[in-house]
Amino acid sequence: MSLLRTEKLKKHFGETRAVDGVDFTVNEGEFLSLVGTNGAGKTTLVNLISAFLLPDSGRIFIGDRDITHASVDERIHSGIARSFQLVNLFDDLSVLDNVALSIFAREGKTKRIFALADRDAAVAQEASGLLEQFGIGGKAQAAARDLAQGERKLLDVAIAYALRPKLLFLDEPTSGVSTRDKAQIMDTVSSVVRGGGITAVVIEHDMDVVFKYSDRVVVMHEGRFLADGPPEEIRRNSDVAKYLLGTDV
Amino acid sequence: MEIVALQVLNSLFYAAVLFLIAAGLSLIFGVMGIVNMAHGMFYALGAYVTAWSVGVAGSALPPAALFIFLLLGAMAVALVGLVIEPTLIRPFYRRPEEYQLLVTFGLLLVLEDVIRLIWGGTPITASGLVDSLGLVRIGGLPYPIYNMLMIGVGVIAAAAIWAFVYRTKFGVLLRATAQDRRMAAALGIDIGRIYILAFGLGCFMAGLAGAIVVPTQAAVLGMGVEVLVISFVVVVIGGLGSLEGALVGALIVSALRTITIQFWEEIELAALYLIAAIVLLIRPTGLFGKKA
Amino acid sequence: MSRRGLGGVAAVLALLLVFPFFAGTYQTQLLMYGLTLAIAALGFNLLLGYTGLLSFGHSAFLGTGAYTVALMMRYLGVSSLELFILGGVICSAALAALLGVVCVRHTRIFFAILTLALSQVLWTLAYKFFWITGGTDGLRVPFSQLTLLGGLVSFPGADAFAKFITYYYYYVLVVFCACTALMWLIVHSPFGKTLQAIRDNETRARFLGVRIWRYRWLAFVVSGIFTGLAGILWVPLNGLVTPDVLYWPQSGKIVFFAVLGGFRNFAGPIVGAVIFNYLEVYAVAVTQYWQITLGLVLIALVTFLPAGIVGSAVRLGGRLKKKGSEQFP
């Protein structure tokens, strides 16, 4: 059984067919990239799956559970997590607290009043371990707003990762950073996520990144899937070349 | 039966007042995205200025002078608004919401005491204006012509505002800025000018409402917050940021209020807020409100 | 907390403990007002500083606490402060639970106005149902009818006032310390961190599976309880409760405490409340236009000193420390 499956998912914004009848399947353990030109529908698709938006029609399944009408927190508890293209951090909390909070949420400890958050050794240990893995361990006590852009992107991913989801959506994890940082970020993200055995869907524009790191590439165009397969196959696909020509290929 | 007719007229009169206040609040919110906690104080200011000027003018009041006093109150308030927006409100657009709320709340405190400073603690009336216009008989019962005129003013104001927002070039600019500020700026629209005029217009409406109401009820301290509390129910029911919502909401709230006062006067405000709470639970954005 | 922080707290505590012995009855009474207002400020700031919700209606809880005491004394003949606290806390919690359901599900702006409006609904009820609440004359809560510690301490007789001030002071001090410690625990707990996360980034918190409105509601109830407790302790001191305690300027004052002291740190609202208390007593003697001063100072604070007194002092201290360590590496 697939981990994620959508059936004829549709979302129209007036005239614009952002997502136009998409059947999307993700299997456990995959590390796949979702690509396409601007406005192809990638972010909308992810927004639909993560409950940022509700679909006009169609269904979404996690395993055999129909989550089409589930609320955000229900979907999180079904095992979906996401990072954000425009970084979404808890700016006034420390870097460590950002990740610790994710762990508290995962463990269901967020309602605890008669306990000191900093004294929870298990959580603190896991949080700092995670920060080390993502390469930002040294900044654990800094306020999240004081991080450099690349570090902020990594923290954004780390927060989502700390939920130990079944399915992790990464929305343009390398956008907005310098070319040199891009490779470093993607290296880190890829090794941590694969190392954790977590299934990931990465929205990405940079085709070099896509071809280097993904097992599978899904190309979207005008709300539909144009192509879907391993990188070499996509590279050879003439339709893909035609529609993405001049942009990134 | 005649009593019902009179109550309906009273309700319409108060609806006109509420509409102006709520529409002003909605206009400012729709265009600028801020809620002015001191909005009710502009209403109070309009009431005080009008009442005071009526008092100053003395007893020789030809009915035509009526509109001058109303306009005076409204214009004075608009002027204050035009001064306040660039000095007090504008510096806070980029800052977190709580600071905007705090600064307008500070303004509320200041204006309440400014009114007390200028006009003192005793209420001022302008009932001479109502008296000079006389009464009309509705099925044998007397009713002030003033009230009926003001209902007319309310209708004209509603129509004028609607026309202004939906039929004039400035209205287009206003709506464009309300929908997408950055885009509007990118198209070369002078956002600063739009903001200050929108704020001034919103204040004008609040001031006009105060001016309209003061001949029928005295200008007292505390009327500013009191009216903010009631007009917020209008905004809850009608939806924040919507002109139609302000109109429909005002009619509904005024009707509810009139009915409640008839049967159990003490719980008037509690009943209004019970209904507001229910609306908030069922339909948080109100009848015509924009989705967040 | 750092060692220096603990030392500071211990020093303040010591000072508070010996205060009545060298300060006299009037000053002790004044400080007590400050301490009860500080408890109100603590409650308020759980919402503003830690959850990001600005309430202009906290007078509702102050008033509920106060009126519960007065009504219990008048109609139920209760005189035990412990029973008053129990009754008042239950009523404040119930009110907060009810109002919270209406207020927290919306935008922060709606929250601000809704809290103001609902507190004014209570105010109109307090003065309109005058046959129950005493209307504008209010209800008296004379300390001669008050007992502490389950009846162990009471205040009959001619010299009772000084005795009342002394004993009541220590009672209030104990409650104040307990409230401060409890609130400190709450804001440093996982729950407290979650509230701060919701404040910082509601979207992200939601995508961690946190049900936003539930946490806001819980914070609202806790906040209401603390502020209600302040009202309970305040009313025997004042001897009288009138609808004024529910009137909106009272909410404004609470907001002011937090902004004055600085709402982004723990001690700010406490300091703000105590300082304001003294300012009010001495300023009212100077000018009757107290509200305009308050408003102007609020605007000035928000414009020039948003971190408040304590917040700015902390920042200044941090900057001086940095300069010091730069000069002497």
User: pLDDT tens digits, residue range A149-201?
Assistant: 899 999 999 999 999 999 999 999 988 888 888 888 998 999 999 988 899 99
Cα separation, B63 vs A1, whole angstroms: 83
Q: Look at residue B58 in the predicted model and tell me its pLDDT.
A: 65
**Which among B107, B204, B94, B212 has a CA at the least distance from the CA of B151?**
B212
Ranges of H-type helices in chain A = 42-49, 72-78, 95-107, 121-133, 149-161, 179-195, 207-213, 231-236, 238-244
- Whether residue C314 is predicted with pLDDT greater than 90 in this model: the reply is no
pLDDT at C1: 61
Does residue A127 contact residue A96 with C-beta atoms inside 8 Å? yes
Q: How far is C318 from chain A (nearest CA, A)?
A: 15
* C204 to chain A: closest CA residue: A88
Q: What is the DSSP string of B118-136?
A: HH-SS-B--HHHHHHH-EE
Cα–Cα distance for residue pair A220/A240, rounded to 1 Å: 9
Average pLDDT, chain A: 88
Question: Which amino acid is present at B157?
Answer: A
Q: Do A88 and C208 touch (CB under 8 A)?
A: no
pTM above 0.80, yes or no: yes
Mean pLDDT of C239-244: 94
> Exposed, middle or buried by CB within 10 Å (0-12, 13-18, 19+), for C74?
middle
C322 lies within 8 A of chain B by CB: no
pLDDT for A16? 83
Contact B228 C114 (CB under 8 A): no
Minimum mean pLDDT range among A118-122, C227-231, C238-242: A118-122
**Residue C96: exposure state from Cβ atoms within 10 A (0-12, 13-18, ≥19):** buried
Question: What is the Cα–Cα distance from B46 to B58, expressed in whole angstroms?
Answer: 19
Instruction: Kindly report, residue by residue over A60-86, the tens digit of the pLDDT.
Output: 999 888 988 888 989 999 999 999 989
The CA distance from C197 to A99, in Å, is: 11
Q: Which of residues 144-203 of A touch C (CB under 8 A)?
A: 159-160, 163
Which residue is closest to B229 within chain C, CA to CA?
Answer: C117
E strands, chain C, are 139-140, 147-148, 153-154, 240-241
> Does A104 contact C at CB distance below 8 Å?
yes
Across the interface, do C109 and B232 touch by the CB < 8 Å criterion?
no
Q: Given pLDDT bands bounded at 50, 70 and 90, which one contains residue A249?
A: very low
Contact between C228 and C91 under an 8 Å Cβ cutoff? The reply is yes
Structure tokens at B20: 């102006």
Name the minimum distance, in Å, from the CA of B222 to any CA of chain C: 10
In this model, does residue C192 exceed pLDDT 70? Answer: yes
Give me the amino acid identity at B193: R
Among B102, A212, B218, residue whose Cα is nearest residue C112: B102
Average pLDDT, chain C: 91
Of C109, C117, C298, which has the smallest distance from its Cβ to B35's Cβ?
C109
Q: Is C295 on the interface with B (CB under 8 A)?
A: yes
Instruction: Kindly list the distances between the CA atom of residue A231 and the CA atoms of A2, A203, A217, in Å, as whole numbers in the listed order.
Output: 21, 15, 6
CA dist., res. C88 & res. C235, Å (int): 11
CA distance A221 to chain C (A): 27
- The model's pLDDT over A43-57, given as tens digits with 9 standing for 90+, comes to 899 999 988 888 888
Which amino acid is present at B23?
A
3-state secondary structure (DSSP) of residue A166: coil
Distance from C-alpha of C242 to C-alpha of C231, rounded to nearest angstrom: 12
Which residues, given as ranges, of chain B have pLDDT below 50?
A: 292
* Contact residues, chain B, for C118 at CB < 8 Å: 273
* Gap between the Cα atoms of C290 and A139, Å rounded: 48
Report the number of distinct structural domains present in chain B.
1
Residue B54 lies in a domain: yes
Asked, for residue B133, whether it belongs to a domain, the answer is yes
**Chain C hits for B37, Cβ within 8 Å:** 56, 112-113, 116
pLDDT attached to residue B70: 86
Give domain status of residue B234, yes or no: no
Residue C187, pLDDT score: 95
**Which positions in chain C touch B277 (Cβ < 8 Å)?**
102
CB contact under 8 A, A93 and C207: no
Query: CA C291, CA C204: separation in Å to the nearest integer?
Result: 40
| Least reliable range by pLDDT among A224-233, B217-226, C113-122 | A224-233
ipTM: 0.89
Residues 80-99 of A with CB under 8 A from C: 81-82, 84, 88-93, 97
Distance CA A146, CA C170 (A): 44
Is residue B292 assigned to a domain?
Answer: no
Structural domain includes residue B256: no
Nearest to C107 among B105, B109, B292 (CB): B292
Q: Say if the Cβ atoms of B98 and C48 lie within 8 Å.
A: yes
Distance, first Cα to last Cα, chain C: 25
Q: Considering only alpha carbons, which residue of chain C is nearest residue B277?
A: C102
CA distance C19 to chain B (A): 35
Coil, strand or helix at A34 = strand
Selecting from B103, B108, B281 the residue whose C-beta is nearest the C-beta of C302 gives B103
What is the β-pairing status of strands C139-140 and C240-241?
antiparallel
Torsion sign over Cα A35, A40, A43, A48: negative
Q: How many CA atoms lie within 13 A of C47 on its CB side?
A: 34
Most confident residue range from A1-15, B129-143, C104-118: C104-118
pLDDT for B60: 63
Evaluate whether residue B147 is within a structural domain. Answer: yes
Inter-chain contact B277–C102, Cβ cutoff 8 Å?
Answer: yes
What is the Cα–Cα distance from B286 to A112, expressed in whole angstroms?
36
Backbone torsions φ then ψ of A202, nearest 5 degrees: -110, 125
C232 touches chain B (CB under 8 A): no
Nearest-angstrom CA–CA distance, A245 and A236: 13
Q: How confident is residue A248, by pLDDT bands cut at 50, 70 and 90?
A: very low
As a dihedral over the C-alpha atoms of residue B36, residue B41, residue B43, residue B49, rounded to 10 degrees, the angle is: -140
Angle (nearest 5°) at CA A38 between A32 and A43: 50
List chain C residues with CB under 8 Å of B279: none
- The pLDDT-based confidence of C156 (bands split at 50, 70, 90) is confident
Q: In angstroms, what separates the C-alpha of C195 from chain A's closest C-alpha?
A: 9
In sequence order, what are the beta bridge partners of A13?
Answer: A16
Confidence of residue A245 (pLDDT cuts 50, 70, 90): low
- Percent of chain C with pLDDT strictly greater than 90: 74
Other beta carbons within 10 angstroms of residue C319's beta carbon come to 10
Who among C108, C112, C292 is closest to B113 (CB)? C292
The residue of chain C nearest to residue B269, with distances taken between CA atoms, is: C121
Residue spans of alpha helices (H) in C46-154: 51, 59-76, 81-103, 108-128, 130-133
Chain B with chain C: Cβ pairs closer than 8 A: 115
Residue B226 lies in a domain: no
Is residue A37 within a helix (H) or strand (E), and if so which, with residue range? none
Q: Are C44 and C225 a contacting pair, CB within 8 Å?
A: no
Asked if residue B274 belongs to a domain, the reply is no
Q: Tell me if residue A36 falls in helix, strand or coil.
A: coil
Residues 6+ away with beta carbon under 8 Å from B283? none
Identify which of C271, C245, C250, C252 has the alpha carbon closest to the alpha carbon of residue C260. C271
Q: Residue B129: which domain range?
A: 2-220
Q: Kindly list the residues from chain B whose CB atom is less than 8 angstroms away from the CB atom of residue C290.
A: 113
